[in-house]
Structures are given as structure tokens and as C-alpha cells.
């Protein structure tokens, strides 16, 4: 089985800087993305990933697959504390703690789980004006036993700044991050605040990114696949990466990135593929959200 590497989480931060009693939470750097799988296809894919050694799963209310992911976790025979489960909630729950708690309890019920290891605000939805309050509610819920840590997703530096000014530090900001759209300004804002960056769409949906000569050249030299080179680029720089695959062989390939290293020159070569600017956006979190 591939050796997994994990990072410590600060997700139990509460406003006065103390931790709420669960400071030892660690997050495996490589997790399985589960969108857009649902139903039996999703349960089968997650089951094969757990068999292959994955110990981190990324689901969300919006994917409609918390039930399918939960079934695979429960059916795996693994102890619950051996698997790190992240979920995310939609805009309708943003608000005071009772509201976020209602969304969380419904999600846990769907998943058939007693708790999530990490629970994220999926999009800030600034038009609603409650993305800071949603974080305050998550802080209150951390330590109830229903979530072990909390974080955000798709928060731009300006959104994160509002959260920090309220005295709150998310454990994770999950963002679109891949070599052609790396968002270094968001990564830097996260790092400066002590927030771990988690990369979604980490291999660019397996499309033209994996045919870039800069990547295929490194892959041939190392006897690795292009996807492995890109995933290694993420984890070697301390990012969580959440590649989705329904295919057992690609799942194993994507997980097997802890037994080789990229050189500093390789890292710089992959870094150089990013030609996006801070104003470029696939889905602008000031406009889009759910
Ligand atoms: N927070 C958010 O707003 C947000 C937004 C989008 C996604 N996400 C999360 O991030 C996860 C991953 O992102 P994503 O699904 O957009 O993109 P991705 O993981 O970069 O790419 C997935 C695609 O790549 C293919 N693939 C997987 N491994 C491969 C390999 N080794 N070689 C070639 N192709 C490969 C998959 O096909 P097969 O299945 O056939 O292998 C699938 O079509 C999602 O599943 C979801 O959990 C979060």
C-alpha cells in the first residue's frame, strides 16, 4: 500500500486562539474527489479507492453523493477514525449556528455517519452577506462532536480577509488549483494566514494539461505518468490534492505519488505553465455560488 502523507490542521481554532480540544487532527494530502459520481457508481468508486489505500474522501451536499460516499465508508470495514471525510454545505444554511447545524445534521443523516472530519462553506455567496457568520457558526460546531475541523472553499483573498478580521482561521481553503490555473495569489493569502490550500480539479480534469510537453518530458524521465507528475507537484509543495477517478487503475496511479520526487527545476517548470492572472476566473466566487 502507498505510504500516505498527512498535514496537521489548525481547524479547531476558536476566536481567542485556543483550540477546542481536538488539536491533533491531521489530513491526508491525497484525497479522492467524488464529483460528479452519484449512487452505486460512486459507492463502487469510493470502495475501490479505500481498498487501494485512499484515506481521504471529498464529498459535498451539492454533489448529491454524501449518501453514496457514506455507504462506502461504512461498508469498508475500516474503523471510522481511519478515514478522513470532508463535506461542504450550500448557501441556504449560511447563517447563525442553528441554521448551519440543521444543514450539518441533515448531511450526516444522509451519509449515515456520526461526524465529518472537515466541513466547508462551499462558496462564499457574498450576495447573501453571511459568509463570515457561516464560519462563526462552524467554529461553534467544532468540538460538538459533529465536525472535527472546519474550513472554506472558493474564498478569494478578500473574503478570507473578512474571516480573519473576525478572528477566525479556517483550517483549509479548497480552491481550483492546477498548473494552468494555479492561483498563486490565493495560495499566498492562504499560507500567510496559516490556512492549508486544498486543490480541486488538481489534474485539470485530465484534459490537455496532461499532454503539455513540459509535463510529459518530466514524466518520461522519471518513468511516471503525467498525472503523477502533476499530483506530485501539488503534494511536494504542501497542498492537498483531490483527484477524482472512477477507474481503479487510475485511482492507484494517482495515489502513488509519495515514492518519488521532483527536482526544484521540475517544480519551476510546472509552475511556469500558469499564465492566468488574478482576474482570470473559471467560476468567479463573487458571481457564482450555490
Ligand atoms: N470546492 C469546489 O467548489 C469544487 C469544485 C470542483 C471540484 N471539486 C472537487 O475536486 C474533485 C476533483 O476535481 P475535478 O473532478 O473537477 O477534476 P480532476 O480531478 O482534475 O479530474 C478528473 C477527471 O480526470 C480523469 N482522470 C483521473 N485520473 C486520471 C489519470 N491518472 N489520467 C488521466 N485522466 C485521469 C477522470 O476520469 P476517470 O474518472 O475516468 O478516471 C476525470 O474525468 C471533484 O471530484 C470534487 O470532489 C470541488
Mean pLDDT, consecutive 10-residue stretches, the chain (290 aa), reads 70 38 78 98 98 98 98 98 98 97 98 98 97 98 95 98 98 97 97 97 94 98 98 97 98 98 98 86 89
pLDDT recorded at residue 22: 46
**Is 61 domain-assigned?**
yes
Q: Is 115 a catalytic residue?
A: no
User: 256 lies in a domain?
Assistant: no
**36 Cα nearest atom in ligand 1:** 45
Measured from the Cα of 203, ligand 1's closest atom is 20
Q: Is residue 85 part of a domain?
A: yes
Decide if 228 is inside a domain: no
Whether residue 20 is contained in a domain is answered as yes
- Binding site membership of 246 for ligand 1 (Cβ less than 6 Å): yes
Q: Is residue 271 part of a domain?
A: no
Atom of ligand 1 nearest to the CA of 244: 19
Number of domains forming the structure of the chain: 1
pLDDT at 278: 77
Cell digits of residue 61: 451536499
User: What is the spatial distance between Cα 215 and Cα 219, in angstroms, rounded to a whole number?
Assistant: 6
Cβ(63)–Cβ(110) under 8 Å?
no
Tell me the CATH number at 62. Answer: 3.20.20.100
Instruction: Provide the pLDDT for residue 12.
Output: 45
56: which 3 cell numbers?
A: 481521504
Burial call 178-209: b when 16+ CB within 10 Å, e when fewer: bbebbbeebbebbeebebbbbbbbbbbeeeeb
Domain housing 94: 6-206+238-246
- Asked whether residue 140 is domain-assigned, the answer is yes
* CA 263 – CA 268 distance, rounded (Å): 9
Q: How many C-beta neighbours within 10 Å does residue 266 have?
A: 20
What is residue 3's predicted lDDT score, i.e. its pLDDT?
56
Burial of residue 233, with CB atoms counted within 10 A of its CB: 0-12 exposed, 13-18 middle, 19 or more buried: buried
Closest by CA to 173, choosing from 41, 69, 27, 20, is 27
Q: Which of 35, 151, 285, 289 to mutate to test the pocket of ligand 1 (most atoms within 8 A of CB)?
A: 35
Q: What is the pLDDT of residue 18?
A: 35
- 47 sits in which H/E element: helix 39-52
Q: Which residue has the cell 459533529?
A: 146
Amino acid at each position: 500500500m502507498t505510504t500516505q502523507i498527512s498535514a496537521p490542521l489548525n481547524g479547531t481554532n476558536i476566536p481567542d486562539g485556543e483550540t477546542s480540544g481536538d488539536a491533533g487532527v491531521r489530513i491526508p494530502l491525497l484525497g479522492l474527489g467524488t464529483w460528479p459520481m452519484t449512487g452505486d457508481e460512486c459507492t463502487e468508486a469510493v470502495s475501490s479507492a479505500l481498498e487501494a489505500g485512499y484515506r481521504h474522501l471529498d464529498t459535498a451536499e451539492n454533489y448529491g453523493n454524501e449518501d453514496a460516499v457514506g455507504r462506502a465508508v461504512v461498508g469498508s470495514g475500516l474503523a471510522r477514525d481511519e478515514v478522513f471525510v470532508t463535506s461542504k454545505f450550500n448557501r441556504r444554511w449560511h447563517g447563525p449556528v442553528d441554521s448551519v447545524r440543521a444543514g450539518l445534521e441533515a448531511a450526516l443523516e444522509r451519509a449515515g455517519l456520526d461526524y465529518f472530519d472537515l466541513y466547508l462553506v462551499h462558496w462564499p455567496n457574498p450576495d447573501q452577506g453571511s459568509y463570515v457568520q457561516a464560519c462563526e457558526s462552524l467554529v461553534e460546531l467544532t468540538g460538538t462532536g459533529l465536525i472535527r475541523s472546519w474550513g472554506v472553499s472558493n474564498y478569494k483573498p478578500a473574503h478570507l480577509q473578512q474571516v480573519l478580521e473576525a478572528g477566525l482561521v479556517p483550517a483549509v481553503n479548497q480552491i481550483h488549483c492546477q498548473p494552468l490555473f494555479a492561483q498563486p495569489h490565493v495560495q499566498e493569502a492562504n499560507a500567510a494566514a496559516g490556512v492549508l490550500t486544498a486543490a480541486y480539479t488538481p489534474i485539470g480534469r485530465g484534459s490537455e494539461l496532461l499532454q503539455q510537453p513540459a509535463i510529459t518530458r518530466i514524466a518520461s524521465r522519471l518513468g511516471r505518468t503525467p498525472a503523477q507528475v502533476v499530483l506530485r507537484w501539488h503534494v511536494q509543495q504542501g497542498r492537498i490534492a483531490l483527484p477524482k477517478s472512477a477507474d481503479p487503475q487510475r485511482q492507484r496511479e494517482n495515489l502513488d505519488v509519495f515514492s518519488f520526487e521532483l527536482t526544484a527545476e521540475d517544480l519551476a517548470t510546472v509552475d511556469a505553465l500558469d499564465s492566468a492572472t488574478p482576474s482570470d476566473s473559471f467560476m468567479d466566487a463573487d458571481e457564482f455560488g450555490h
